[in-house]
Structure 1
Amino acid sequence: MATVKHQIVDCDECKNKFKLKPSILKTEKVGEEVERTYFKCPKCKHKFIVVYKDKEFNNNLIEIDNIRKKATKVSANNEELKELINSQNKLHERNLEISGMYKKIYGA
């Protein structure tokens, strides 16, 4: 059975080191159709924002997953693979823009 390694995080506030486990990630609604994913330092409770998501963001994640599935079925030197990777990168960049926009509105 594979061992899951969790990212080690250093709290900016209290310098506490802790493992970033899925169980400490929380999601809350901050707008009509906007969700914020965050976690808190277990020691000082400082809040760290991971990402903001909306409907477009979630649809992009689904499309990225579909692109990855298609990419596993084409050859490495195929022009189609290059197009799939380019499409995936554009969706990823768009999601960064979306989250960044909401960070400006709702806080980082």
Structure 2
Amino acid sequence: MSTATTASVSTHILDTSIGRPAEGVAISLAARSGPDAGWTTLGGSATDADGRCKDLPALPEGTTHVRLDFQVEAYFVRNDSADNQQAEAQQDAPA
């Protein structure tokens, strides 16, 4: 007797430089059915306010390898820009 299972993938990203979850990081999921098979992109999503990505696509039957690609450059550029604006606003505020 065989038991069918549905495999899934989730992830959680923490930005240790600021001690908070990393919100808004785009992630893509790819899968393949063996070490010599080609990668098939299944789709993607982005992390929520808690740094979690819970809605990645389901894995096809026969998947033996998965790959997550994290687009962290855009996250850091966006956060560096926001941090710089906040620091400038604090410097311009009257004491």
Greater relative contact order (Cα < 8 A, sep 6+): 2
Q: Same fold (TM over 0.5)?
A: no
Structure with the largest fraction of strand = 2
Query: So what's the TM-score if we normalise by structure 2?
Result: 0.31
Structure with the higher fraction of residues in helix conformation: 1
Give TM-score, length-normalised by structure 1: 0.28
Asked which structure has the greater CA Rg, the reply is 2
